[in-house]
Chain A
């Protein structure tokens, strides 16, 4: 077969595009629904905290519980159905992610006991940045989920801005919009545009 340089160039471009689309569609299938879920949890929990500050603890416990159960159900459904991919390692990867988050939660509790944050604001900013650190790590590990790195860094900056620059009375509203908003927005974007 004789092909020109231009044909070869077009073929390589086609390969690169297909490869990018494949990676994105797989990333979207798993992270899209999870980011939408956790974006909604953050938005609802921060608005709830702003409105009912005295019940903040219960609001976060209930909504984080909803998020955790939702995450388990989404992952179980995806892994079992093999949508869009399956492999013998799927289960292993799933359990690694589960233990990563569980251990992070344990460490957060240990650090809270060690450092004893003096205010609810400190406590919240600490947990938010710790969760975003996990996003950053996951973005570094999985090249197909590299956007998690940028999302994690962006929400960390947003949290620090909220902590240092926003009046405490508006911190929760700020975090609902500038923290939960990007998570929800990223989830919706990759779900509808990458899948």
Chain B
């Protein structure tokens, strides 16, 4: 049974993972590009990335390009799997194959 993932489900983290899994495996996205894409602040994106990194879903690499500090982010294999599982779980909820809890409450 696919797993609903509470870490990934938070809207900003869900968007981060959606953006990262769109890239080819091993492809890294520039931090500022991701920030612009998701329309979030530096601090907000950093905090959510830290949470995903802590879970082992993303890899954050700090490096220097032309003497300027740059941060690149990519999805780890474990993150891709967890994201795919989460998407399957969401589809199952929509299809009514998975108990959402809320639906049960609504029927009472």
Contacts and interface: CB of A to CB of B under 8 A. Distances in A.
Interface string A18-33: 1101110110010000
B96 A5 contact: yes
Interface stretch (A41-49, A58-66, A77-85): A77-85
Interface residues of B, number: 36
Interface of A: 1-5, 8-9, 11-12, 14-16, 18-19, 21-23, 25-26, 29, 80-89
Q: SS class of chain A's interface: helix, strand, loop or mixed?
A: helix
Given A1-B4, A18-B15, A22-B29, 20 more contacts: A2-B102, A3-B93, A9-B94, A11-B14, A11-B90, A14-B15, A18-B37, A19-B18, A21-B19, A21-B37, A22-B19, A25-B33, A80-B65, A82-B28, A82-B65, A85-B29, A86-B28, A86-B30, A87-B27, A87-B28
A15 B94 contact: no
- Top 9 nearest A-B pairs (CB, nearest first) are A2-B101, A84-B33, A87-B27, A18-B18, A8-B93, A22-B22, A15-B18, A22-B19, A8-B90
Q: SS class of chain B's interface: helix, strand, loop or mixed?
A: helix
Nearest to A4: B102
